[in-house]
Chains A and B, each alone.
Chain A
Amino acid sequence: MTTTPEDLRTDQTPLAPGAPRSGTTFLGLPTAPRGIGHLRGDRSFPDAAREALRDGQLRANLGHATTTIRGKRARVVSELPDWAQLRAAGSALKTATMARLDEHLEELERQVTARGGTVHWARDAAEANRIVTELVQATGSDEVVKVKSMATQEIGLNEALEAAGITAHETDLAELIVQLGDDKPSHILVPAIHKNRAEIREIFLRTMPQFQGEGADRDLPDEPRRLAMAARAHLRERFLRARVAISGANFAVAETGTLAVVESEGNGRMCLTLPETLITVMGIEKLVPTWRDLEVFLQLLPRSSTGERMNPYTSTWAGVTPGDGPQDFHLVLLDNGRTAVLADEVGRQALHCIRCSACLNVCPVYERTGGHSYGSVYPGPIGAILSPQLTGVEDNASLPYASSLCGACYDVCPVAIDIPSVLVHLRAEHVEAQEKPTAESLAFRALGTAMSHPRLWRVAQKAASLGRLLARGRPTMPNTLPFPASAWTRSRDLPTPPAETFTSQWAREHGGRR
């Protein structure tokens, strides 16, 4: 994405979707600023998806991976007789948290501070990046190790650190694959899901120092085990020398100031345990009021995300513990458009997301187009409702339409986010926000006129039946119709008009009789 000075002016950022555009209740809460971070793609979803659909390898990789994970999730979810009750409790807990979000954040700040941590507040991506960069600079370190974190991806933290001469080492295996391959993440849980083992092997051989130079042992089979071992060797020394780590957080407990990171590989534990300084960047919606609330989410999250009864490692910490782990702890609380989402009574449930990615794995659209098509770091069904709300719907206008509304995402969501309803809500927002007529609105206006005038309607029907000439006997119209019909037919089947409509057949067979 190119950045112009114009883009950086935050006063130009669009208003929150759902924020009334006139009248006395005008909320005007700022969305995530343009020109920074990774919430906006450089083209629309259909344009990006069309290219992705032509990539047979990508479709094979995605189909294999999503099929595997769907099966595992279904197995471990069916094991719990009280899944429905847990899901309802998870949903209610999130609703309750959001209803008093300010109070819980103030309590979290009090508790973290009381236990030796420092809390920072960031209005947007630029402010969060500046806070983190200055904290790293204050340590004198020119490199950091990172735990996989969606929030830091969202704000483009690695790029901001690089601009300040600080190297960020991603340590999650999939993030490492993406970073070494100079690629972009395409899945919330498994950012390298679009790559298969052979492609990953190739990236490792090409980029890891251990495989370079005269006499290097380049014997690396493409078994996942051997690839994981190569990553272990690559990162081991970096962990042991790191003085600063940056993480996200899965949960923060307001009443105790406890933070939680849920992971599998142990890279998170390395980052949370060994460095002297730990900086955690967390969206303001990630908190839960009480410790007990984690009993719900620690059951919902692992089964929904990796399809395991429990993920291998969960770390929790409250502030600083003398003699154990980082002695300097900073928590950065990030808004970046979240309060604008909160202002929308229908759309705010997108903030309930616990980033399990179950909705991606079941989505027929995601499975075929992959994550890059969505443009934002949040792909799939949840991304299609979260990204447009964080940026303002006009900046991600194609995403609410990137769905067939089949509802599979709602069924699997562990906190019961009604994604299809929010998609429809955002489509309405988008349509209502159009100041100039669109091709679609003109077409429907014309249709409305025709349908309310019988004579016009019959003429239109006759005209439509001429389409049969183009179809040349096929049941659907060709997808190469000229504009504006192409806007419809390039991604949808348009049935060939019948030789005769029902009304004209009735008139022919029964005369004028009713």
Chain B
Amino acid sequence: MSAREEVLGRIRTALGETRAPVPEVLRDYRATDDRPAGRLLDVLVDRLEDYKASVLRCGPDDVAATVSAALDAALGAGWAPGSVVAAPGLSEAWRPDGLDTDDDRPPVRLADRAAAVTAVAVAIAETGTLVLDGTPACGRRALSLLPDCLVCVVTADQVVGGVPEGLARLDPLRPLTMISGPSATSDIELERVEGVHGPRTLVVVLVA
């Protein structure tokens, strides 16, 4: 008998011939968040800053300039545009001049880039979570991982209240990365330290 047949057979034996009915799952937890949109943006900013991410807010016409300012703050003024890689589908209107664009280079060649700039698919206010879904605007997973600084552009319509609303907007067949602040560890005396293997700096440009 194959291992597959044997393991499935053991499960059937364990559960018995007359199976207990499947219990109903009561989903009476909060599925939506009724707070006004402006309030949700404030919650998102509060949570992100609590994780030691920095947030810059701007209007729809100032995104490229704000991304530029974010990179100034993270890398120091005078950063080389060629050392910053943008997701291939990032809106032209959001890009500072001269940025490199990710292509199909081997992923490890992103490791020496100073920063990456991407969009997000969803932002969850209550947990301060940005979700990247591998679409051209968000870029492949290595892009938001290897450069030491990550700048994410979030638009107000992408912000939802809680985790249930966030997951409902996502496609589970895509490779998803949920990011809540910079890389961190609590492995030494259970004290949180920001910055281990992922980007040590996370800057969010919130467009509203």
Contact = CB atoms under 8 A, between A and B. Distances in A.
Contacts of B83: none
Interface stretch (B59-67, B113-121, B134-142): B134-142
Interface stretch (B71-79, B151-159, B161-169): B161-169
Given A312-B179, A339-B14, A321 B196 contact: no
Given A224-B191, A274-B107, A298 B134 contact: no
A180 interface: no
Q: Majority SS of interface residues in chain B?
A: loop
B34 interface: no
A266 B30 CA distance: 30
B23 A310 contact: no
Contacts of A270: 145, 197
Contacts of A339: 7, 10-11, 13-14
22 contacts: A29-B14, A81-B30, A82-B29, A99-B20, A99-B23, A105-B11, A123-B3, A123-B7, A173-B188, A192-B187, A193-B190, A228-B188, A228-B193, A239-B197, A269-B141, A298-B178, A306-B186, A310-B180, A315-B141, A317-B175, A325-B141, A343-B13
Given A85-B28, A318-B172, A342-B15, A312 B190 contact: no
Interface in B183-204: 183-193, 195-199
B176 to A, nearest CB: 4
A273 B198 CA distance: 12
B12 interface: yes
B172 A232 contact: no
A65 B197 contact: no
B92 interface: no
Contacts of B10: 29-30, 335, 339-340
List the 3 closest A-B pairs by CB distance, nearest first: A266-B198, A266-B197, A339-B10
B197 to A, nearest CB: 4
Contact of B190 (A65, A267, A311): A65
Contacts of A232: 195-197
Contacts of B126: 309
Interface string A420-444: 0000000000000000000000000
A200 B182 contact: no
A265 B172 contact: no
Interface in A406-456: none
A310 to B, nearest CB: 4
Interface of B: 2-4, 6-8, 10-15, 19-30, 47, 50-51, 104, 107-108, 111, 124, 126-129, 134, 140-142, 145, 162-164, 167-168, 172-193, 195-199
A92 B23 contact: yes
Most chain A CB inside 10 Å of its own CB: which residue of B47, B176, B182, B193: B193
A262 to B, nearest CB: 9
Given A27-B14, A29-B10, A310-B124, 15 more contacts: A92-B25, A115-B173, A123-B7, A224-B193, A228-B188, A229-B195, A256-B173, A258-B172, A258-B173, A266-B197, A269-B145, A310-B128, A324-B141, A324-B142, A339-B11
Contacts of B198: 265-266, 269, 312-313
Interface in A9-43: 27, 29-30
A256 B172 contact: yes
B85 to A, nearest CB: 15
A85 B14 contact: no
Nearest to A98: B15
A197 interface: yes
A267 B184 CA distance: 10
Interface of A: 27, 29-30, 61, 64-66, 68-69, 81-82, 85-86, 88-89, 92-93, 95-96, 99-102, 105-106, 115, 120-123, 127, 171-174, 177, 190, 192-193, 196-197, 200, 224-225, 227-229, 231-232, 235-236, 239-240, 253, 256, 258, 264-267, 269-270, 272-274, 284, 291-292, 294-296, 298-299, 302, 306, 308-318, 321, 323-325, 333, 335, 339-340, 342-343, 348
A264 B185 contact: yes
B191 A190 contact: no
Nearest to A309: B127
A313 B177 contact: yes
Contacts of A86: 29
Contacts of A95: 23
A258 B182 CA distance: 24
A101 B15 contact: yes
B8 A190 contact: no
A306 to B, nearest CB: 5
Contacts of A101: 11, 15
A330 B37 CA distance: 42
A89 B188 CA distance: 33
A309 B185 contact: no
B150 to A, nearest CB: 11
A65 B186 CA distance: 10
Contacts of B168: 292, 295
Contacts of A100: 19, 22
A309 B47 contact: yes
Contacts of A88: 26
B181 to A, nearest CB: 5
Contacts of A239: 197
Given A68-B190, A197-B188, A284 B7 contact: yes
B165 to A, nearest CB: 9
B111 to A, nearest CB: 6
Nearest to A265: B196
Nearest to A81: B30
B136 to A, nearest CB: 11
A197 B22 contact: no
A453 B36 CA distance: 76
Given A89-B29, A232-B196, A273-B107, A127 B3 contact: yes
